[in-house]
């Protein structure tokens, strides 16, 4: 009995824990494939073409992970000694192993954003003068939604201001859009609105969209040509990757519309946590991420686990829940009951 209970743990550690459904696996099994390093995999080519069309960008390249897609973008836009401007909690800085330094020889200029959202004024204030002492400010990188900001998303008007500043100052603009589809589900913008603003965008297929692996980097023909060369050097040139791209195509067709459901369930979790005595604060819940502050992180994560709910310690006094397509309505009800009973 005890073992069976542990097989039905409620998984709220991340939206990366989703497992391919039977129809997704069938789509993968049926994929037509070739050697993608030779540009010969029809399913990878179709995914890249489709994503480029959706975002109204010229080209796209399929990557094994979001980290690689971001790191390729940084390499494409910069030279050693350049500087990347981003939030202090940006994934590219905090969760990519210092990759921008080792892969591209660049340093970050870190800004103190509002739950990860930086402004044009903040960026303008740190752009370096043309002086031999200073690194060359070259790239601005935004993250939307913002993981460490509790799934916060940008006001598109601010993004347009940032774009204008980048144009005026000759800076490239990259978007870490690992969860961009979550932001799009809550706002009136379309993917092409984003495609028309950013020089490059990375999008994860393996988070809320439910594919087992894969991210796509979007950009101009010239940028993506360069990106393919960097991807090969980073070890990301895959052969019959069409089996994986098929999962991405399936995810785009079937799992985008339903993201709102994850957001609604996250809000219900946020409400339950707000009422719980062991919770000191809940960050506003905007999409599928719920970050909350508790009295004792280790104790509460252990208690939740004992009751069958998995969560991650998220630095300081914080715990993170992420909702996703394998987190059902019944699991939501159970989790709310477990939160209520915890003291």
Residues that bind ligand PLP (CB under 6 A): 65-67, 70, 91, 143, 147, 176, 178, 204, 206-207, 215
Kindly tell me which of 91 and 324 has the beta carbon lying closer to ligand PLP.
Answer: 91
Kindly tell me which of 10 and 217 has the beta carbon lying closer to ligand PLP.
Answer: 217
- Taking Cα atoms as reference points, which of 263, 268, 274, 245 lies closest to residue 325? 263
CA pair distance 307, 285, nearest whole angstrom: 23
Q: Least Å distance between CB 55 and ligand PLP?
A: 17
b/e per residue, 191-223, with b = 16+ CB within 10 A?
A: bebbbebbbbbbbbbbbbbbbbbbbbbbbeeeb
Kindly tell me which of 205 and 282 has the beta carbon lying closer to ligand PLP.
Answer: 205
Kindly tell me which of 148 and 163 has the beta carbon lying closer to ligand PLP.
Answer: 148
Kindly tell me which of 96 and 336 has the beta carbon lying closer to ligand PLP.
Answer: 96
**Does residue 266 contact residue 285 with C-beta atoms inside 8 Å?**
yes
Q: Least Å distance between CB 301 and ligand PLP?
A: 20
Q: Least Å distance between CB 93 and ligand PLP?
A: 11
CA pair distance 292, 301, nearest whole angstrom: 12
Q: Least Å distance between CB 278 and ligand PLP?
A: 27
Kindly tell me which of 93 and 292 has the beta carbon lying closer to ligand PLP.
Answer: 93
Side by side, the strands of the sheet bearing 82-87 are: 59-63, 215-219, 200-204, 172-177, 136-143, 82-87, 107-111
Task: Name every residue whose Cβ is closer than 8 Å to that of residue 283 and which is 6 or more positions away in sequence.
Answer: 115, 149, 150, 290, 291, 292
Kindly tell me which of 68 and 331 has the beta carbon lying closer to ligand PLP.
Answer: 68
**Does residue 117 contact residue 87 with C-beta atoms inside 8 Å?**
yes
Q: Least Å distance between CB 8 and ligand PLP?
A: 25
Kindly tell me which of 143 and 262 has the beta carbon lying closer to ligand PLP.
Answer: 143
Q: Least Å distance between CB 275 and ligand PLP?
A: 28
Q: Least Å distance between CB 67 and ligand PLP?
A: 3
Task: Name every residue whose Cβ is closer than 8 Å to that of residue 173 and which is 6 or more positions away in sequence.
Answer: 139, 140, 141, 142, 162, 163, 166, 197, 198, 199
Q: Least Å distance between CB 66 and ligand PLP?
A: 2
Measured CA to CA in angstroms, residue 166 lies from 123, 169, 197, 254 at distances of 9, 5, 10, 35
Q: Closest-CB residue for ligand PLP? A: 66
Q: Least Å distance between CB 148 and ligand PLP?
A: 8
Kindly tell me which of 74 and 279 has the beta carbon lying closer to ligand PLP.
Answer: 74
CA pair distance 127, 341, nearest whole angstrom: 51
CA pair distance 199, 218, nearest whole angstrom: 8
- Taking Cα atoms as reference points, which of 230, 235, 210 lies closest to residue 219? 230
CA angle 206, 179, 31 (to 5 degrees): 30
- Residue 164: Cβ within 10 Å count: 12
CA angle 75, 79, 83 (to 5 degrees): 90
């Amino acid at each position: 009995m005890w073992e069976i209970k542990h097989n039905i743990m409620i998984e709220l550690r991340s939206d990366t824990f989703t497992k391919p459904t039977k129809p997704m696996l069938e789509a993968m099994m049926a994929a037509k494939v070739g050697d993608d390093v030779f540009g010969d995999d029809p399913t990878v080519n179709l995914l890249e073409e489709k994503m480029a069309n959706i975002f109204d960008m010229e080209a796209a390249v399929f990557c094994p992970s979001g980290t690689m897609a971001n790191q390729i973008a940084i390499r494409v836009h910069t030279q050693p000694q350049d500087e990347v401007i981003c939030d202090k909690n940006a994934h590219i800085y905090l969760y990519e192993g210092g990759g921008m330094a080792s892969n591209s020889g660049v340093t970050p200029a870190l800004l103190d954003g509002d739950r990860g959202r930086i402004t044009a004024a903040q960026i303008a204030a740190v752009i370096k003068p043309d002086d031999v002492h200073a690194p060359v400010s070259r790239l601005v990188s935004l993250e939307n939604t913002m993981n460490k900001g509790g799934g916060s998303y940008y006001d598109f008007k601010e993004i347009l201001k940032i774009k204008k500043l980048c144009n005026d100052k000759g800076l490239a603009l990259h978007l870490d859009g690992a969860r961009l589809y979550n932001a799009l589900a809550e706002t009136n913008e379309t993917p092409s609105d984003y495609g028309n603003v950013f020089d490059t965008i990375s999008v994860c297929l393996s988070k809320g969209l439910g594919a087992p692996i894969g991210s796509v980097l979007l950009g101009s023909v010239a940028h993506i040509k360069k990106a393919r060369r960097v991807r090969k050097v980073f070890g990301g040139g895959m052969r019959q990757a069409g089996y994986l791209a098929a999962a991405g195509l399936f995810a785009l067709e079937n799992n985008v519309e339903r993201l709102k459901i994850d957001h609604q369930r996250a809000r219900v979790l946020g409400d339950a946590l707000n009422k719980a005595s062991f919770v000191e604060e809940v960050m506003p819940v905007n999409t599928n991420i719920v970050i909350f502050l508790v009295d004792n992180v280790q104790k509460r994560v252990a208690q939740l686990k004992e009751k069958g709910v998995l969560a991650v310690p998220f630095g300081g006094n914080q715990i993170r829940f992420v909702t996703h397509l394998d987190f059902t309505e019944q699991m939501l009800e159970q989790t709310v009951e477990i939160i209520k009973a915890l003291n």
